[in-house]
Amino acid sequence: MGVITPAHAFFNWAILRKWFRPRWVVAGSVLPDVPSFAAFFYLLAVKGFPDSGGGGFFGFVMANGNPNRQPGFMEMSFLLNALPLYGLVGVVVLVWRSDWLLPLWAGWGLHILEDFLTHVVDAYAPLYPFFPGWRPPGVVSYWDPRYGAETFQAIQYSAAGAILVWVVAERLWSRHKASVDREKETAPDGPRDSKGAEKGS
C-alpha cells in the first residue's frame, strides 16, 4: 500500500487542508488502497478469520496470499495507481467542476505520487493497462529494509509529529487571536490603537 493508508490520508490532508474539504481529500487519499482492503475481507470470507496463535493478521496474510496480489483485486489496484484512469477522471473534473470531485481527485493524485516514490520491488505500472510490464522502481521502500525503509519510516514519523505540533499550535494561536479581537470589540470604551488612544477621537 505504499506509504501505509493512514499516512496517505494524514499527509495529504496536511498538504491540501487549506484549499479543499478534508473529508474528500481523505477519501481520495485512501481510494487506491480500497482494492487491497476488499481483497483482505474476501480472503477472510473464504479462509476464515486468522488464528491469533498463527501470527494474527500478518500470519494470515503470509499463509493465504498477499491481498495486493489477488486476481481481480490486483488489476483494480493497478488501475487506481496508474495515470491513464487518473487522467481520464481529470478531464471529468475539469468539465464538471464539482465541489467534492476536485478534492477527491487531488488526494488521489498525491497517493499515486507517494506510491510511485515508495515502491521498489513491488512497484506499480504507471501506464497500466498500457505497458503493464513497465514498472519503474521508486527511490525508497516504505517497508523493505534493503531499500531504506528504516530511514524512511523514521523521517515519516518525525514529519507526522512536526505537522501535528504545527497544526495544534496554529489552532491555539487562532483561538487566542480571536479571543483578543473579541475583547477589543467588547471593551467599554471601544477598540483602541497601539498607543491606547480610542479610535476615531
Tens digits of residue pLDDT in 75-125? 999 999 999 999 999 999 999 888 899 999 999 999 999 999 999 999 999
Identify the pLDDT of residue 21: 86
| CB 120 within 8 Å of CB 147 | yes
- 50 φ/ψ sector (left φ>0, alpha ψ -120 to 50, else beta): beta
The answer on pLDDT for 57 being more than 90 is: no
161, amino acid identity:
G
73, amino acid identity:
F
Identify the pLDDT of residue 49: 59
- The average pLDDT across 168-176 equals 88
Confidence bin at 201 (pLDDT 50/70/90): very low
49-73 exposure pattern, b = at least 16 Cβ within 10 A, e = fewer: ebeeeeeeeeebbeebeebbebeeb
Identify the pLDDT of residue 36: 85
Secondary structure of 132-172 in the HEC alphabet? CCCCCCCCCCCCCHHHCHHHHHHHHHHHHHHHHHHHHHHHH
Is the preceding peptide bond at 129 cis, omega within 30 degrees of 0?
yes
DSSP string, 66-107: -GGGSTTHHHHHHHHTSHHHHHHHHHHHHHH--TTHHHHHHH
pLDDT in tens, 144-168: 999 999 999 999 999 999 999 999 9
The answer on pLDDT for 24 being more than 90 is: yes
Mean confidence (pLDDT) of the chain? 84
Any residues with CB less than 8 A from the CB of 63 and at least 6 apart, and which?
54, 55
DSSP, collapsed to helix, strand or coil, labels residue 129 as coil
* pTM attached to this predicted model: 0.80
